[in-house]
Amino acid sequence: MKFFVFSLGVFVAVFWGFPSHAQASLFDVSPKVCVVFQQHEFCDLELKISWQLTHPQDVCLYQNDQQVQCWQNMQKGRFSYKARVQVETIYSLVNPHTGSKVATAKVEVQSTEAKTTRRRLRSPWSFF
């Protein structure tokens, strides 16, 4: 009986507890990871960006804080973009009139180089 009440509470929280705009847009950037040989190298990518919104609106694509491209009165779209990234980069769709972010995605840069630092195996305050 307790499991049933718990399950019912979770069901109600999931379907009625969250606002309907939580999944208002679909935004995809691929590839999501770029692998370089050494840390701090640049990675050249051909990004495929696609989005779908609940209703047509003006949106601009930003790479971190730099504007890349804008579209007017679009509900969905696809865009190819040649990017040169060195660190984790955030791509976002922004409404140019309000400045609010419609959706975000990130591209990570990872290196094959072995890390030179090691994690400490014991606490610094330990006497043993």
Average pLDDT over residues 20-40: 76
Global confidence as pTM = 0.66
Among 27-31, 56-60, 86-90, 117-121, the range scoring the smallest mean pLDDT is 117-121
Identity of residue 76 = K
Question: How far is 83 from 80, CA to CA, in rounded Å?
Answer: 10
Q: Map out the domains of the chain as residue ranges.
A: 20-111
Element at 108 (helix H, strand E): strand 101-111
Asked if 79 and 57 count as a contact pair (C-beta separation under 8 A), the reply is no
For domain 20-111, the CATH class is: mainly beta
Element at 6 (helix H, strand E): helix 2-16
pLDDT reported for residue 6: 39
pLDDT at 65 over 60: yes
pLDDT greater at residue 24 or residue 11: 24
Task: With cut-offs at 50, 70 and 90, classify the pLDDT of residue 112.
Answer: confident
CA nearest to 85, candidates 113, 47, 28: 47
Give me the helices (H) in 43-113, please: none
Residue reference for tokens 């701090």 = 40
Q: Report the mean per-residue pLDDT for the chain.
A: 78
Task: With cut-offs at 50, 70 and 90, classify the pLDDT of residue 86.
Answer: confident
Residue reference for tokens 């379907």 = 15
